[in-house]
Structures are given as C-alpha cells and as structure tokens.
Structure 1
C-alpha cells in the first residue's frame, strides 16, 4: 500500500466546499431535462438461465450474435447509430473539440528505434496521417527512407502495421498486418534493401511474440488453430502453440515447437535467448502474471525441453543469460519485484541480485554490460542502471514527472533508446549510452502548444476503507480555482495495469477548453505491485469501485468540481468500472463514457479472449465467484426508477477482444429501464476494434463526440 502523503502543493488544498451561485447555475443548466429521445425498439427475449438457485434473465441474448452474421443485429446497430448521430449533431462543442484535437494531434511523432546490424528502424507520423509509417536509416545519422507505409493499404486507413521485428543483421523485416482493429494478425517478411516482400506469409497469429533465429533463417511465432467459418471474431481462443517458420517455405511446412494439448487454455509465447542457444517459452493461462517457463535447446537435435518453472505462481521476465545462468525479474518472494539469477540445472536455487524496493520494479533489460531497471514510484517512472551482478551504477535522470518506456537493447551493444512523456508533454525519444551514461535527444516533436500552459499535480485521497489512493490532476494554468470546474475522471483498476502520466491530445483538448482532467490510480492496477493488484480483483473487485467513487467524492469535497459537473470515462475493464459505479452511484455523476466495456459478467468467458480474464474476475461457473460477479455486473444491475446520468457507450463492430455484444446488451437494458430523462446512447464504430490500429481521424472523431457529450452535461463552455 502507498505510504501516507500530504496533498501538494499546500496552497492548493482545502478549496471551498459550498457551491457558488455560478457553479449551481451551471449544474442546473447541465442537468435540465432534455427532449425525450425515441430509442429504437429492441426485441426482448425470454431467456432465463438458472444458476445456483438464481434465475438470471438475459432478454437481449440475441444481441451477442456477430453483426456480420446476423442481419437483425446489423439492423439494430444501424438504427442505434442513426439516433446517436442525430443527437451528436446537436452538440455545440463537437466541432470545436474536433478542431482543437486536430490541432493538438498535428505534430511529428516518432516511435522507439530498434537497431539491427548497422540499420535503425523506427516509426514516424507527420501529424495527421491515419497510420504511422515505418522508416529505416543506414547508420544513426543516415537519411530515413520509407520501408512500410500502411496508409497505402486501405482507403479508410483502418489497416495498420502492428508488431514488427528486424532480423539480427537488419537484412529482413518481420511485420504483422492488422485489419479493421482485429486482434488477428497476418505476418509477412520484407527484404530491407529492396523493400520487396518475400513470398512468406503466416496467418491466424494472435497474442504472439515474433522473434528471429539468430542466423536469420526463419522466425518463431505463436498461433491458434484456424477458426471455423464465420466464427473468427467470437469463438474462444484455445490451443495456442509455438511454431518455427523457415524462410522460403509455406506455412503448412512450419515446425511445431511447443504445444500443450492437455492444457488447451495455456498461451505459449517464445523468445530466443541473448546467446541464441535456447528458445524460452513463457506459458500462462490468464491475464495474471503467473507463468511457466520451458527451455528448448537450439541446434542440438534430440535435446529434450527443460522445464524451469511449472507452478504458475509468479511473474518471470527474462533479462539475460550467460551460458546456463539466467537472470529474471520476478515477484517471487517480492510483491514489488526483484532481480534474481539461477542455474538452469538448479532452477529453485535463486540468487538475489537486486532486492525489492519501495518503488515497484516494472521492467528490466540488458544493454551491453549493464542492466537497466524501470521502476514506478507513486505511479511516476524512475530508471536505474546496475551491473550484471546487480551492483548499483547510476540513476538515469528523467526530464520530469512522467512515464518512461523502452530501454531495450542487446548484450553486444551499449546503445539503447527510451521514450519519455507526461500529461502535457508529448513523447520525446532519447538515445542513451550505458557505458558513458550520456543521454541525448534522438527525436523531439515541434509542438502547436506550450506545455508550460498546463499544470500537473498529484493528490492522495482516502477510499471507503481508509486506503490512500493517488490521483493526478491536470488543468490549465490560471484556471479559476475559486469555484468548481467541469471535470473528467478517468480510471481503469485491473489486470495489474498502471496508469502513468502519458500524453493524450484528445484529453489535453478537454483541459485546454477549461476542464479538469483527473486520473485515479485505483487498486487492481500495478502501481504498487502485487498487493495493490490483489486488493482490486476477484472477491476484492468492489474496492476498485469504492476507490473510483471516493475519487469523485474527493473532487467535489475539495471544490475541484461541483455536483453536476463530473463526468467519468474508462475503456475495456475501465468500461466495466464506469458501468458498475454508474449503477451504484448514479447521483454522483453528470455523464458517463463507458468504452468497449465488459458489461455482462456472467458470460464474458464464452467469447474470444474472455476466458483469460478469470484471473481478475473469477469463474462465472463457480458459485462464490458467480454471486460476486452478479453483485456488480453492469448489465444485470441497472436500476429502473432511478435517475441516471447521461450515458454514451462506445464500441466497434470488429472488437474481438471485448465483443461488442457486451455494450449492445447493456445499452438495450439501459434504454428499456426507467432511468431518467437524460440520453442513454451508443456509438458503434465500423472497421475498428478494441483500440489498437485505429486511424487518427477515427480517434479524433470519436473523442470529439464523447467530450462534446460530456461537456453538454457537465456545463463546460467549449465555444
């Protein structure tokens, strides 16, 4: 748990608790009844599932069907979008938000470079390109040339370059294509010198690492069996297996390296060790960081796999090895992480290299003869450099309170790159030399705004049970703090995911228009290690909702926002969060923006990747878990006869992570309930998925719609 801290700075604490006249007027205007919306008629079925003595009604089961397969679902989607589009067209702030977001997005953006041989590979977006373009340089100071421009792949910009990996010598590039936002990948190979694709193509790849053999003869990847026709976007993902593809051969000739048919729910991902002597397969059943480890000796025909870890109890992240001695980041015996090594002939005898710290160890990578450790201290990034034996060498000075990522590299090269950003500062790429300790800017964006115009502070507030929870506040300098401001509260709270101070042009537009952005680091995340995660999952999931509700109450009590001025937002597991707290405290919020949310907690494990989430949610088929899930499931707990905030649900037709049926069913139930006069709408994007791969124009359009909706109901004057 985080240590107790005072809110800072002192001059900003204890704002007025009593609403001013202006604040009350704004709240009243925002909450004024709207003209009644005519929602589309949604057929109600009579499906009832008896579970553990409870008859669970599911009248909208038919909306689970794939929109591509069931024409009735497609007609429902079209009808809902017509109503939503007509309403959004009336919002006065929509065009203003879209214009400002477009301006804030219009800056040059670079991705982290990867060095292979003498070549450097990196992505770049000139500002408003739908997709970032992959470039290659011959040498660090060489002129970049376009290697892959995914903007040429589809007219609507919705086909994206996903994962990519150059071969060790930089001769070839392995890359994955993502179409329409799906999690499925098509993997291809490009000759870097000529820019031409090889005939090699691998399909049905999902949730896969991509790693080359050291000699460049081929690559390792993971895939699922080809799904039945018409089931690619809904059927459960099982029997994940690792294959080797040799260049110049068809996929049918790929060699099966590692499969677990006796445990079909395991995911199996592979990487080649630094020395190229082993293939390390990391296996897991769910989303929790509880892994099994299997080593496959390479270049030794007949050699048997070596099982290193098979208890699936802890996190193990490979860092490096020297012969049979391997170094890992683990949370075994250290909830906030430590660095250990062991000989693969005696994997239970651990040698501690770096002990657990008050900060949470979230990453470790070998670069040259150094190891760079990435930490989170109160959700802010820290970086430290140690010797291979764990002896401290130096801290890496970061620019500000923010988020750092990267630090990848090779044992043969002291050069690495990292990215740094903050809420009001877009990503800058730095080149770092682990031998000299020198850091220099590799790529820095030219901005259309001044980061100094915005302030960032961190507060700590008490949740329902007294736990202190950190929260970031972002606002424009000079904002009148004597009265509450329309505020957007964002949260996630699950799957060990940490919310760090990253840059978002869309959220900054909200702040630039005079709103406050609040981001709460709820339990269930990874900000304070395993204990923080455990405190917000399974039977403890209600803690996440309590933390979020307490954040809203704190913002009002401190005068940061006022009653009727608070909007909430969250996506995926955060969409579940928004749906659950809206049911539990509809009086607290003026507007709710649940995106691609998990809304039916009794059937989430029946579709695509849903089965992985039992680590955080539990099993609907087990009575104790069922009763806990039913207690907060957004779809099952909508309260008829209670005035709800304005709700704009967002999802996409190609989301095969959280299938859109979750959002469809939740929206239908909310529209059917007598839940007040405010609008309860759904916006359904086409040719888009769970979020990754979405083109820039679609990101801006969706965010402008959401924030104009929130502005309408919180009283934010956008014009």
Structure 2
C-alpha cells in the first residue's frame, strides 16, 4: 500500500515518535577513559564494552535485546514482512557446478534448509547423490561449509567448516565412496582454502599457530604460515612451506597448476588488492619440499595467476594498467622486463580471468554490469559470451583441457540461473533455472548515472514495479558498500525482492572504493580520499530526492561491514536526508579498529590513527566519534553478532551506546544483537530470515508503510 507524500510523512513521524517516546534505553555505564592521539584527547567512555565475554557486557547485550525485541514485536509490519520474506526465500537454489576426477559437484538448497547441501554426479544426466550435508553437522544449523576441494581423482573431498559465523575453520577429509571422514583434522585455519597435489597424497593450506593457554591471537603471534598436509599424518607433522617472520602481515593462498607441476602461491598483505606471487616446482605432481621462488614481491599491483601453459605463467595484473590486462611470464626468465602482454588494458575493468578449453575467458565490468570476452591462447579476441541482459555473471572456472564451463547470471529482479557453456561452439544452455514466488516480469531495473560532489560520475541501479510514479512518495531503500576493491553489481537477493513486493523501490549504488572501474576507482575511495565514498552515497540519495523517486521521509539506507561504516558516517553527515538507517556489523570506531583480530589488515583502505595525517582524517568521519547531539537523526537500527570475530561487536556496542546517550531526537536508536552469531557468512536460513525481515519491517514501520 502506497500512501500520499503528506500522509506518509505524518505517518512516519507519528509511528516513530509514538513508540520512541515509550523507549527506555538500558543505562550504559561510563568510565573515565581518555586517549591522546597526536596531541588530541579523545574520550572513550564505553571502552569496557570491548570485552564481549565479560558478565557485564553480556548483561548489557541481554538488556538491549529486550528493549529492541519489545519494539520490533509491537510493529504491525513485523509478521507480514517475515511471511513475505519466508515465502520469497523458499525456492530451490543452486551453486555453480564444477568437475574434478570424472565427477560434477554443485550445491543445492531446497528452499529453507539452514545450509546448502553438496551433491555429486558422474554426468549431468545422472541422479545426483549427497556428497556432504552441513545440516547434519549441528542441531541449530550454525555450522557452515567454508571451503570444498576434491582431490584430482575425485575420490576424496577436503572440506572446511566454521561455527557460529566465525572466520576460524576446521578442515577434514571425506572418502566419497564410503561417506566417512578420515582421521585427518586441521585446526587454527582462517582465510584459507586447500590445494591438492596431483598425486592425491596431500594438500597445501594456510593456518596460524595455536595460541598458548590464555593467549589471544593478536599482534606479534597473529600471522599466517603455509603448510603441506600429508594424508594420514597428524597436523603437528605438517611441513612448513613458507612464512615471513620479518613481515607478519603476509598471508598465503595456494593453487596447483592444471598439469600438477607447479605450486602457485598468492602472497596477500593486509586486505589490499596488491599482492606478491611465488612459485614452487612439484616434480611428477608431488610435493618434495624446496623453497618457493618469487615471481614478484614488490606489492605494487595485483597479480592473479590464471594458468600455466607451455612453460609460461599467465597472470591477470593491473601493473601499469589500472583497469587490468593479461600477461605471459616465462618462468625461466621471470624479470618484468620480459613479460609479454597478451590482452591489453581496455576501457572496461577486467574483474576476472580463467583458462578453459584452450581459451581465456575474461570478465569485465561495463558501468558495473558484466561482459565476458573470449580470447585465443595468443590473446587474440574471438567472441563474447551472450548474456541475458544487464546484470552480473560469475563462474567460468575449469581447466585448460575442459570442453565446458558453468556460470550463473542474475540481475536485481532475476534470481541466479545456472548455465552450461560449450567453449568450442560458444553456446550457453540453461542447466538449472530457479522457480520463485517473485515474478520478475512485474518489475523493471534501470541504470542511471549520478554526479558526485567533485564531479565524478557513477552508476546506480533502480529496481521498482513497472509504471513507477515519480512523485517522491515511494518508500526507497538505498544500499552501498564502497571499499576494498569489491564491486557492487546488480544481483538478485531476497531482501531486495521482499522490499519490492512490499511496494518499495530498491537502489544499488556503485560508488568509489569498490572495483567497478579498476584500481584507480578503488584507490579514489581509500585513506585520505575516503570522504569521496560518503560524498558519492550522499549524492545518490540527493539524486533520488531531486528526481522524485523518494523524499527524505521515504528514503532509507543500508550497508554491512565496510558498508556499515558507510551508513554510520553518512548518517552523521546528512541526518536530514534519510528517514531510517540500518548499519550492519559496521566498522564504527575508526581510531581503534586495527587493534582487534584481523582489523590491522584493513589499513590498506583506511590507514590508522597511529599516523598523524590519517588520525585527522579518521577522526573527522569515524561514526562513533561524530554523533551530533542536538541534531535530529533518522531512526537507526544497528545489527551485529555477539561472536563476530572479523568486525568485533564492540564497534556496534559502543556506537549504539553513544547514539542512545546523545540528544538526537525522538526516532528510535536500537541495536539488534544476534547471539551465537558472527559476521554473517554461513548464517543459518532461519536467522537470515528473522534478521533481514526485521530490518525491512523496521524501515517500513518508520515510514508508516502498511504491509499486508
């Protein structure tokens, strides 16, 4: 139901103020804690909330949840929104298939299963059987699959699991013939996959040292090492392949070349996209020790190995090419001066590259929508993969000798459909097409361009019911991220679909800091240039108001993690532009973020308060430190998980406590804390539905939107 603008405005004000006036936020104890940064004293009265395991913090969490639960339960929009969300979530979904050892593997969810199930079959025509069902690993569905790698002969399956949304993984090995796990068990694994040697005797993986009793994995002892695990041996016997005690920011990703003769080691440093690259020969497809040799350790650009073909290493890089290019490296003479360009930089950002069927399949973003181009071994352009429309395609994995590959295609209003692609003929055929209660024919997506404060132009994608009337009364949800070289492209998600079915407009903003236009676009939203990200998002909101898609009374913003930082910063800077703001698992304390778990790795995007110039910039936009008491704020719902070990919940705890203590008007300032939950990855279906439907119901309630 759509209300008129005046009625909607009045309804929103009445709805938020009426309930907010009855809100009594839990009292949050303040402490006398002040830190001095480069001569500037900064108070941190809620420092004690950083200890999320203390009894006092747990009591605070329970008290906050009691207030939030009461508020949410009283909203008439809550139950009908959850019903719509559940209905739209309940459809059969498939992952992108891949093949190994004469077997196909893919994931499937029948609709409301807590975790996706892994299936395998020897041909696409055979009836698939279950290879691994993560739903059997825990009673509440909180144990999730974090990685899956079959051995080259397709007989064994190395798989990682993580519990309660944590980044920490445990790796095991399953015999696919018996369905039983072997005795192998690997702990203290984080941010790692597995790479089998061609002989099937073991695999490479990265892990951290186990902490001593009472010790926390931070600072000096928090660094990654690459190991080789030989099947049937204890983890303590794993062979160290590479570490760097002189630079503990190094982390490692490993893969084995198609011919099994080369280990390719991606050396990542912090969360930046610039990396190093090492290689190690694997004689006869086996690990025989040795010291990996560098292809490059300059950390001056991105170097992504694509294939090892004919004695040449094919690498996707943005070295001297901000939008990306493909180069061939002779490993006998790996000096950069001898690198040969196979595919030069073009006008679009190269976001992915694979080598399948004797061809290079290169993925590009053209104004944040996917294009896929096919190139010959010598780099010559051959064709384009025909995609259904303006959206997002992903996949295209496989080996140089494969005849086929698979990919998914999705848009804001079309669920991901899986396609099989014949590399030789260039024909794409549908493999799995989802059936959902959401009818995409009722909606349309258009791409518009917004001009930011400094004149930079960027795209936004607007999804709405066909025939949308532009009078400013449309309840509109604007989503953004803007960081870490991550491209935000149009893709179907149930949150957007539910909002559309509720009568709203869903908008995706492809702003600076992401990877939509290459490395220069990313860097334009980092460190001292981070304000560009906020300016872009504000410009997107202003464009929606100016063009009468929405009004400040009908516009809400949402984002998670780095996107939570975005929402928090923009809410402080333009509280008058939005009716509601929902920052999820956000990075809110920009002065101390680097002190927690993996936070130090984000310095490539943010910089740290240890640097005087960066302190000034961070202090100027840090969501926690820029809440404006005496200014009317929109309704705010903060969400986090009490077990989040990536963006620790202290960020959201301290931000919510500060927001509640400030004089920011009658609209509610609530925090929803999911217990026994982490950053979001692997979250069970039931928890996803509850949390995200609550977010949409909160926004609808704020705007006075009736939901049936």
Q: TM-score if structure 1 supplies the norm length?
A: 0.95
Task: Establish whether residue 273 from structure 1 lines up as the match of residue 273 from structure 2.
Answer: no
For 1:338 and 1:508, how far apart are their aligned partners in 2? 36
1:263 Cα shift? Answer: 1.1
1:75 match: secondary structure = helix
1:671/1:412 CA distance change after superposition, 3 Å? same
1:72 match: secondary structure = helix
Does the CA contact (< 8 Å) of 1:237 and 1:609 recur in 2?
no
- After TM superposition, the structure 1 = structure 2 runs for residues 503-522 of structure 1, keeping only pairs within 5 Å, are 503-522=492-511
- After TM superposition, the structure 1 = structure 2 runs for residues 157-236 of structure 1, keeping only pairs within 5 Å, are 157-229=141-213
Partner of 1:465: 454
Does the CA contact (< 8 Å) of 2:471 and 2:550 recur in 1?
no
Does the CA contact (< 8 Å) of 1:31 and 1:590 recur in 2?
no
1:621 match: secondary structure = coil
Does the CA contact (< 8 Å) of 2:145 and 2:162 recur in 1?
yes
Partner of 2:556: 567
1:386 Cα shift? Answer: 0.7
1:31 Cα shift? Answer: 5.8
Partner of 2:43: 57
1:601/1:476 CA distance change after superposition, 3 Å? same
- After TM superposition, the structure 1 = structure 2 runs for residues 36-75 of structure 1, keeping only pairs within 5 Å, are 36-67=22-53, 70-75=54-59
Task: Establish whether residue 446 from structure 1 lines up as the match of residue 430 from structure 2.
Answer: no
Partner of 2:225: 241
Partner of 2:622: 633
Partner of 2:120: 136
Q: TM-score if structure 2 supplies the norm length?
A: 0.96
Q: Which runs of 5+ in 2 are unaligned?
A: none
For 1:233 and 1:558, how far apart are their aligned partners in 2? 50
Task: Establish whether residue 530 from structure 1 lines up as the match of residue 519 from structure 2.
Answer: yes
Does the CA contact (< 8 Å) of 1:66 and 1:233 recur in 2?
no
Partner of 1:12: none
For 1:605 and 1:696, how far apart are their aligned partners in 2? 31
1:409 match: secondary structure = coil
Partner of 2:317: 330
1:346 Cα shift? Answer: 2.6
For 1:445 and 1:397, how far apart are their aligned partners in 2? 20
1:585 Cα shift? Answer: 1.1
Task: Establish whether residue 702 from structure 1 lines up as the match of residue 691 from structure 2.
Answer: yes
1:190-235 deviations in Å (ceiling 9; x for gaps)? 1111111111111111011211111111111000111344666877
For 1:158 and 1:235, how far apart are their aligned partners in 2? 29
Does the CA contact (< 8 Å) of 1:565 and 1:715 recur in 2?
no
- After TM superposition, the structure 1 = structure 2 runs for residues 363-512 of structure 1, keeping only pairs within 5 Å, are 363-512=352-501
1:96 match: secondary structure = helix
1:21 Cα shift? Answer: 4.2
1:703 Cα shift? Answer: 0.8
Counterpart of 1:289 (choices 273, 276, 289) is 273
Partner of 1:314: 301
1:20 Cα shift? Answer: 5.3
Task: Establish whether residue 615 from structure 1 lines up as the match of residue 599 from structure 2.
Answer: no
Does the CA contact (< 8 Å) of 1:23 and 1:562 recur in 2?
no
Task: Establish whether residue 341 from structure 1 lines up as the match of residue 341 from structure 2.
Answer: no
1:328 Cα shift? Answer: 0.5
Partner of 1:14: none
For 2:107 and 2:263, how far apart are their aligned partners in 1? 28
1:38 Cα shift? Answer: 0.6
Partner of 1:4: none
1:615 match: secondary structure = helix
1:580 match: secondary structure = helix
1:454/1:228 CA distance change after superposition, 3 Å? farther
For 2:198 and 2:5, how far apart are their aligned partners in 1? 67
1:53 Cα shift? Answer: 0.6
**Higher mean C-alpha displacement, 34-43 vs 591-600:** 34-43
1:289 Cα shift? Answer: 1.1
For 1:365 and 1:642, how far apart are their aligned partners in 2? 52
1:354-376 deviations in Å (ceiling 9; x for gaps)? 11111110000010211100111
1:69-90 deviations in Å (ceiling 9; x for gaps)? x111111111110010001001
1:172 Cα shift? Answer: 0.5
2:63 match: secondary structure = helix
1:236/1:493 CA distance change after superposition, 3 Å? farther
Partner of 1:10: none
Does the CA contact (< 8 Å) of 2:106 and 2:119 recur in 1?
yes
Does the CA contact (< 8 Å) of 1:583 and 1:634 recur in 2?
yes
1:584-614 deviations in Å (ceiling 9; x for gaps)? 1111111110000000001111111101100
Q: Which runs of 5+ in 1 are unaligned?
A: 1-18
1:244-286 deviations in Å (ceiling 9; x for gaps)? 1111111111111111111111112211122222211111221
Task: Establish whether residue 101 from structure 1 lines up as the match of residue 90 from structure 2.
Answer: no
For 2:695 and 2:102, how far apart are their aligned partners in 1? 45
Partner of 2:21: 35
Does the CA contact (< 8 Å) of 2:16 and 2:666 recur in 1?
no
Does the CA contact (< 8 Å) of 2:211 and 2:217 recur in 1?
no
For 1:580 and 1:244, how far apart are their aligned partners in 2? 44
1:79/1:30 CA distance change after superposition, 3 Å? closer
For 2:390 and 2:14, how far apart are their aligned partners in 1? 37
For 1:327 and 1:132, how far apart are their aligned partners in 2? 34
Does the CA contact (< 8 Å) of 2:438 and 2:497 recur in 1?
no
Task: Establish whether residue 145 from structure 1 lines up as the match of residue 144 from structure 2.
Answer: no
Does the CA contact (< 8 Å) of 1:363 and 1:374 recur in 2?
yes
Does the CA contact (< 8 Å) of 1:119 and 1:137 recur in 2?
yes
Task: Establish whether residue 601 from structure 1 lines up as the match of residue 590 from structure 2.
Answer: yes
Does the CA contact (< 8 Å) of 1:339 and 1:353 recur in 2?
yes
